[in-house]
Amino acid sequence: MSTIQITKPKVEISPSILDEIKTQVYEAGQVVIHFVYQNEDFWIGSKIRIWPSSYLYDKGSAHISELVHSENIVQAPMWQEVTFGTKCYFTLIFSGLPRDCSTFDFIEDCGGEGGGFEVLDVARNESDIYYFKIY
């Protein structure tokens, strides 16, 4: 599985929901990561999910930000099917990173099952909103 950082994709989300999330994120100092997962390899479909044990690791300290909310993806132990050629858009919201954090890793700890999502060496930006494509 590969991951690349992308520019903001065109995703249709209700403007009222976006405004609410932006306000909550700003007030709480949270980190938002938007993902698009595209099934380009598995003709019979593939299944995804997110483990609650997904974290952001500050590369400059021992700080770990916890997953506080997920949107449009099921949490383990359930599975969500993504049929061949389709995309699944989902969002993860984490507790805030330290102000002096400049780089972090996103790692999904699957309890030894393997196959978790990983995005390493993410350069922090001012908005703390990120976009990634997983394929």
pTM comes to 0.79
Q: What is the DSSP string of 12-50?
A: ---HHHHHHHHHHHHHHT-EEEEEEEE--S-TT-EEE-B
How far are the Cα atoms of 13, 20, 24, 80, 91 from residue 6, in angstroms, in the given order?
Answer: 18, 24, 24, 23, 14
Q: What is the pLDDT of residues 5-55, one digit of tens each?
A: 766 666 667 777 766 666 565 545 899 999 999 887 767 778 999 999 999
Q: Are 50 and 74 in contact (CB under 8 A)?
A: yes
pLDDT band at 134 (very low <50, low <70, confident <90, very high): confident
Q: Which domain holds residue 66?
A: 3-134
Q: What's the confidence (pLDDT) of residue 27? A: 47
Q: Are 88 and 36 in contact (CB under 8 A)?
A: yes
Domain count, the chain: 1
Q: What's the confidence (pLDDT) of residue 3? A: 66
Q: What is the pLDDT of residues 52-87, one digit of tens each?
A: 999 999 999 999 999 999 999 999 999 999 988 889
